[in-house]
Structure 1
């Protein structure tokens, strides 16, 4: 079994989502589908209820900071009780386009972490140009989880793993100029890593320009194995064990 710990394979993101899920099942690839808003959370739950290889993560993304109401939070609270939900995500902070709404982003992030604590669920965290704030917020909560498509330094990665977090490694690690991520995987132990695709986004270098799918997870695994001078089967075994431990799959 391989576990793609972060992807968006549902109708709102991909035209042939169910076909891709079935292909993944045929290849013994399990998927953690991440919702980001009201509609996608419902779609994720639908897929998780239909397919044995699909697990649901539900959350509200930073892009919703101006729209979220207490009623919306209550809805998500109820949805998290579904037996197919294994995490709160995708949630987090993103200052790439603007930092003007920093306080509102942090407030929404905090509310998502509070729900994770309430339901005793791990979190799947997005952090872009906001690594220090992400760390500072997370260390104030009794949660564990993953840093999806990790973009920070190796030094910061070690701080996250000390909190009990795993580092998500995806397609960008295969890019020739991405020395930063390769440094991360060389300086933290593989016991702290998860593999992911972020499908339909962030295809590996070998599939550049194409729509990404979980079937490309092998390129990520191969690059980790190459960098660490490990057998690919060993990388699969360890990262799958990590995901099963974190998400209780």
Structure 2
């Protein structure tokens, strides 16, 4: 069983979502669906209840900073009690378009981490152009989790691993001349890596220009195998064990 630890395969993000889920399951690909707002969190709950080997991660994305109400937080608090929910995510901070909303992004991120601590759940973290702040914030909380689509340095990745985090590796590792993530993969090693697609985003090099799906995780696995001089079966086995351990999947 391959575990795609991060994807958005639901109707509000892509067409024919349930057909794509069925295809993935037929090919022994387990899915962790990540919600980002009120609507997608509900979709994730519905799909994780409907299908075996489909799990949910719920959260409010950084783009909602300043908009999430106390009522929204209370709702998420209740939703996290669902047995199909295995993580809080996708959550985090993003300074790519500037730091004008830095403080309110951090405030929302901290609230999400507080809920993760309350429910003893791992977190799935989005961090873009904000690695140091992300690290400093996570260090203040008693959480473990995954750095989704990791974009930081190999040296910083080592520090996240020390905090109990895994490094999420997806389609960008296959992109030409992406030496940064290749170095990270080699630095942290297979024991600290999770595989993901971020479907319908971040298609691998082989599928550039096409909508990404969990079926494309094979390209990510192949690239990691090449970089670490491992067999594909070993990459699948170890990364799946990593995911099971982190997310308490049996």
Pick the TM interval, shorter chain: over 0.9
**Structure 2: distance between partners of 1:231 and 1:85:** 31
Q: Tell me whether 1:38 sits opposite 2:43 in the alignment.
A: no
**Residues 137-167 of structure 1: CA distance to partner in whole angstroms, max 9, x if unpaired?**
0000000000000000000000000000000
Runs of 4+ in 1 over 3 A off after TM superposition: none
Q: TM-score, normalised by structure 2?
A: 0.99
Answering whether residue 166 of structure 2 is matched by residue 166 of structure 1, we say yes
Note the C-alpha offset of 1:15.
1.0
**RMSD of Structure 2 on Structure 1 (CA):** 0.5
Which string of whole-angstrom CA distances, capped at 9 and with x for unpartnered residues, describes residues 52-100 of structure 1? Answer: 0210000000000121111110000000000100000000000001211
Deviation (angstroms), 1:210:
0.2
Is 1:75 the counterpart of 2:75? The answer is yes
CA distance, structure 2, for counterparts of residue 236 and residue 15 of structure 1: 28
SS in 2 for 1:121: coil
Deviation at 1:106, TM superposition (A): 0.4
2:66 aligned residue: 66
Please list the CA deviations of residues 161-189 of structure 1 after superposition, one character each: whole Å capped at 9, or x if unmatched.
00000000000000112000000001112
The aligned residue for residue 228 of structure 2 is 228
* Secondary structure, aligned partner of 1:9: coil
Query: Counterpart of 1:8?
Result: 8
| 1:55 corresponding residue in structure 2 | 55
Matches within 5 A, 1:134-145: 134-145=134-145
Q: Secondary structure of 2:14's match? A: coil
Partner of 1:206: 206
Number of residue pairs aligned between Structure 1 and Structure 2? 249
Q: C-alpha separation between the residues in 2 aligned to 1:175 and 1:189?
A: 19
Task: Tell me the distance in 2 between the aligned counterparts of 1:207 and 1:89.
Answer: 26
The separation in 2 between residues aligned to 1:222 and 1:189, in whole angstroms, is: 15
